[in-house]
Chains A and B, each alone.
Chain A
Amino acid sequence: MRYGMAIEINKCVGCADCVVACQTENNVPIGYSRDWIIEKVKGQYPDVFLHFESQRCNHCDDTPCVRTCPTGASHVIEGGIVKVTQDECIGCGACIEACPYDARYFHPDGYVDKCTFCDHRVQDGLDPACVAVCPTTCMHFGDLDDPDSDISKLIRKRENFTLLPEAGTAPQIYYLK
């Protein structure tokens, strides 16, 4: 079992529904977010290219955030989901420094918070809130270890990229062109 996400950038409209759905699902305080939208524009008028990326923790295979955590609050659970145990987190911020994706933030209640792939939903067989809400259905969640899963087939079939592969963390969110 290895959870991952595939996001079709040819369909995403950058509406930020994933952001607000995550906030309400996970009680993320206003002013903070576990996921966010990046707009990328290339070219010169009228030959312009644009795409949006819905970004979040990449739930990497090689996790500098977990390695640097002095208390063991940052850890990996089944399926490769990277989590933070709130009670064990001392808010030192080492993991925030270590993450090449800037995917973690200080929660005002004094701990570090981040995307959990909505593991509380996944346990019930549901998609993460961001995936479930997306009006364009550009986001897909599933088991990368299962060659027959929809997400594995999509990644095989479509040209794709990951963010900052050079950081060497083996990110598990794939952007499909």
Chain B
Amino acid sequence: MSNFNRRDFIKISGASAAGVALTPKLSGVFQNFFQKEGKHLLESDAVKVPTVCEVCFWNCAGWVYKDQEDNIKKIIGNDDDPHSNGRLCPRGTGGLGMYYDDDRLKKPLIRVEKEGQQSFKEVSWEEAFDVIEKNMKAIDKKYGKESMALLFHGKTGPHFEHLFKAWGSDTMGEPAGAQCLITREAGFIATYGAGLASPEPTDVRNADCLVLIGNHIGENMHNGHVQEVSTLIDRGGEIITVDPRFSTVASHSTTWLPIKPSTDLALLLSWMNVLINENLYDKDYVEQYTYGFDLLAEHVQKYTPEWAEGVTTIPAADIYKTARIMGAAAPKTIVHPGRHTAWYGDDTQRTRAIAILNALLGSWGRKGGFYFPEKLKLPKEAHPPFPKPKWSWKDISKKKHKLAIMGITNEILDNALPEYKGPHKVKGLFIAATNPLQSIPDEAKIKRALDNQEFIVVVDTMPSEITGYADVVLPEATYLERLDHLRTAHHRQPNVALRYPAVMPKYDSKPGWWIARKIGLRLGLDDFYEWEDFEEVLDWQLKQVGSSMEEMKKEGVKLFPRNTPMYLEDGEEYWFNTNTGKIELFSTDLDEWGYDPMPVYKSHGDVPAGFLRLIYGRLPMHTFGRTLNNPNLNDLKKEPNLWVNPKVANIYGLENNQEVWLQNPKGKVSSFPIHVRITERIRHDSVFLPHGFGNKGRIMVNGKVEEMSRTYGRGISDAEMISNIEIDPETGGTGMRNNFVTILTEKPTKTEEKS
């Protein structure tokens, strides 16, 4: 494609948009649907189609309820589903808004230039595939297939992973890794030889004590876990929540420890100190299953609660008290591993400290601790072996980070920058169901990487920031209109769940599998697509495990018996997948690779004068930027608030609901304002910003603006304010919690970033 500056394009479209009247928020089919009054859809009249939710990664199974005219009326959890137990969270319940949203991408688009202005033109699928075929082949010829990289998320991802591997590129990554849980996986792998994956196998329903450190269950609606925490409250269990913010779950906890942000590792080490020095750890378990206890015992001597008090601001007495509570409940104590753990740049070490604490408490493999999950083994469809690429994401990241266990998105993008002169250049991007401008930090860098690409394809259901940078935009059908891979996530019981299209795709959208296959055929990959309809693949897979599409369409979820015990037997011999075959309190791998073999506390510095720490997190009714425009979910929460402590409000002279802007230490001012919420629920050194807002994605299609009209310009994007990224050496994960902002009460004259 032509060599233009994509950032200019965004500005042009933004400016042109100023005078354009936007379509009313409620229009067309959507309005009609909700104003059809009076008739309830009774169980007996409903047509039910099984689905697996895609509004978040928890992927709960449920039933889409349609009336006899094929209108989706509601979505209800599947009673047999271990992820949801028949109860969806607000996002799953409101998931039908993903389908009804009239701001969806509707037609394939290609970039055109007219009178010096960039715009999109609606085209047929075949025309869009022509452009994709031509450009992917051009990148292959010029640089090699490896230089075309894939960034992806969710159940859309695997269709394009298959396409890329069949074509010959394994240059791929998902923000769910480096921007979310890779450090936690690495920390647990280094300790137990096993990661946690999703859903995390925490046996909260049988626990007596749950420790949450930077984990706001209930605001993150990890459905099954929220449900299990509720049972712990019913049983009168201990919940110890460590959070600088009085989170929802902090309010339901027996203890809240409002820690000074960035000092979590000090608290974890001092807890180890107490457990060991007061003999509260599980001696038999530690002796039988762990390696390096003596080294650890010596290592943590300096991390006394008295020392930790000075670092964390948590009184030593509270540290002793909580360690004793944890020890008394062990092994039914869970120090929860968290999920989004990309915080401070030493996150593998911090999550390893969590893993070690659990080992001292003897909770791994124990009832009320961590159960051993099982997963249904589903055979993959036969196809020729994938060609071996000359290089892959591993060549980009594995040498730098020994525990980079998946593609590191931010480093794939480093190789896409103009200044990158090495052998692994990224010159084209295929972006499926993710919006890197919000999901990967350092907006300025990403924009430069995007500018430096010769070709960009975006596949998504909604327009977002990234859409404006694409050469080709492909509208994907929503999860309610498409078939995807079977869900076989591990759990207490192996299980399989089916997502089946409840209705035909709206507009001219198509399922991901269809799009990937069509591109595959254009690239001559016929051998990898011997099926015509993805349903054939699923039916074959299901038949290998004694089920079928026919059965699954009726059941939605099928459970299978376990093959191994869920917990360790008393004194059972057990081989862990580590070098020593033991739980490694002292990690032999980390030692060999030159990382700290046991976690060492390092200060992350203080909040710079005149600034506040930026804490971001979730609201229970939203997941990512793309859920914000869902009419049902948007109705629950349209706009975020900036949480500030009354002391902070006093200093800045703020009033509740006042409109303010944020500025980071590099001078970047937020694109949009946000309303202040003055609350005692947060420390005086931090502000809290819900994630995903501040959408500024607008595209011009045939001279008209397309955007997420319900959410455009509402609130501030945390990603936009994050300027300091601290890379976790073990994994390459991006620490994003050492970021600071100051509050501006006057509207700044210029909000564009200096380049």
Shortest B327–chain A CB gap in Å is: 24
**Quick check: B680 and A86 within 8 Å, CB to CB?**
no
| Complex: chain A residue closest to B252, CB-CB | A10
B684 at the interface (CB under 8 A from A): yes
| Complex: chain A residue closest to B33, CB-CB | A27
Cα distance, A116 to B636, chains bound together (Å): 21
**Quick check: A41 and B681 within 8 Å, CB to CB?**
yes
| Complex: chain A residue closest to B73, CB-CB | A24
B74 at the interface (CB under 8 A from A): yes
Cα distance, A83 to B680, chains bound together (Å): 40
**Quick check: A20 and B246 within 8 Å, CB to CB?**
no
Given contacts A45-B684, A48-B246, contact A20 B230 (CB under 8 A): no
**Quick check: B635 and A49 within 8 Å, CB to CB?**
no
**Quick check: A50 and B248 within 8 Å, CB to CB?**
yes
Cα distance, A106 to B636, chains bound together (Å): 19
Shortest B613–chain A CB gap in Å is: 15
Cα distance, A24 to B91, chains bound together (Å): 12
Question: What's the interface size class on A, roughly?
Answer: 35 or more
User: Taking each of B26, B73, B621, which has the highest tally of chain A beta carbons within 10 Å of its own beta carbon?
Assistant: B621
**Quick check: A134 and B87 within 8 Å, CB to CB?**
yes
Shortest A83–chain B CB gap in Å is: 13
| Complex: chain B residue closest to A17, CB-CB | B90
Contact mask A23-42 → B, CB, 8 Å, 1/0?
Answer: 11111111101000000010
Shortest B238–chain A CB gap in Å is: 14
Shortest B631–chain A CB gap in Å is: 5
| Complex: chain B residue closest to A37, CB-CB | B636
Identify A13's interface contact among B73, B219, B683, CB under 8 A.
Answer: B219
B633 at the interface (CB under 8 A from A): yes
Cα distance, A43 to B636, chains bound together (Å): 27
| Complex: chain B residue closest to A109, CB-CB | B37
Cα distance, A135 to B53, chains bound together (Å): 15
Cα distance, A6 to B507, chains bound together (Å): 44
Given contacts A13-B248, A13-B249, A20-B632, contact A46 B88 (CB under 8 A): no
Shortest A114–chain B CB gap in Å is: 14
**Quick check: A45 and B682 within 8 Å, CB to CB?**
yes
**Quick check: B246 and A136 within 8 Å, CB to CB?**
no
| Complex: chain B residue closest to A22, CB-CB | B93
A73 at the interface (CB under 8 A from B): no
Identify A50's interface contact among B76, B230, B233, B681, CB under 8 A.
Answer: B681
**Quick check: A120 and B681 within 8 Å, CB to CB?**
no
**Quick check: B632 and A24 within 8 Å, CB to CB?**
yes
Segment 66-82 of B: residues with Cβ below 8 Å from A: 73-77
Contact mask B215-244 → A, CB, 8 Å, 1/0?
Answer: 000110101001101100110000000000
A75 at the interface (CB under 8 A from B): no
Residues of A within 8 A of B251 (CB): 48-51
**Quick check: B227 and A136 within 8 Å, CB to CB?**
yes
A137 at the interface (CB under 8 A from B): yes
**Quick check: A11 and B636 within 8 Å, CB to CB?**
no
B3 at the interface (CB under 8 A from A): no
Cα distance, A26 to B93, chains bound together (Å): 13
B36 at the interface (CB under 8 A from A): yes
Segment 476-503 of B: residues with Cβ below 8 Å from A: none
Segment 60-111 of B: residues with Cβ below 8 Å from A: 73-77, 87-90, 93-94, 96
User: Taking each of A43, A50, A107, which has the highest tally of chain B beta carbons within 10 Å of its own beta carbon?
Assistant: A50
Identify A15's interface contact among B75, B89, B258, CB under 8 A.
Answer: B89
Residues of A within 8 A of B681 (CB): 41, 45, 48, 50
Contact mask A81-122 → B, CB, 8 Å, 1/0?
Answer: 000001000000000000000000001110000000000110
Cα distance, A20 to B92, chains bound together (Å): 10
**Quick check: B42 and A30 within 8 Å, CB to CB?**
no
**Quick check: A21 and B34 within 8 Å, CB to CB?**
no
Segment 17-73 of B: residues with Cβ below 8 Å from A: 26, 30, 34-40, 42-43, 73
Identify A20's interface contact among B223, B633, B680, B684, CB under 8 A.
Answer: B633
**Quick check: A20 and B636 within 8 Å, CB to CB?**
yes
| Complex: chain A residue closest to B710, CB-CB | A30
Identify A135's interface contact among B223, B256, B645, CB under 8 A.
Answer: B223
**Quick check: A20 and B93 within 8 Å, CB to CB?**
yes
A76 at the interface (CB under 8 A from B): no
Shortest B305–chain A CB gap in Å is: 18
Shortest A137–chain B CB gap in Å is: 6
- Given contact pairs A45-B258, A50-B246, a sample of 19 additional A-B residue pairs in the complex whose CB atoms are under 8 Å apart: A11-B230, A11-B252, A13-B219, A17-B87, A17-B93, A20-B632, A27-B36, A30-B631, A30-B632, A46-B258, A50-B681, A86-B38, A109-B37, A120-B42, A135-B226, A135-B227, A135-B230, A136-B227, A136-B230
List 17 A–B pairs whose Cβ atoms lie within 8 Å, in order of A's numbering.
A10-B233, A13-B218, A15-B226, A17-B620, A21-B93, A24-B74, A31-B635, A33-B635, A45-B645, A46-B246, A48-B246, A48-B251, A109-B35, A124-B42, A132-B87, A133-B76, A135-B227
Closest 3 CB pairs of A and B: A13-B218, A15-B620, A50-B251
Chain B interface residues (CB < 8 Å from chain A)? 26, 30, 34-40, 42-43, 73-77, 87-90, 93-94, 96, 218-219, 221, 223, 226-227, 229-230, 233-234, 246, 248-249, 251-252, 256, 258, 620-621, 631-633, 635-637, 645, 679-684
Chain A interface residues (CB < 8 Å from chain B)? 10-11, 13-17, 19-21, 23-31, 33, 41, 43-46, 48-52, 86, 107-109, 120-121, 124, 126, 132-138
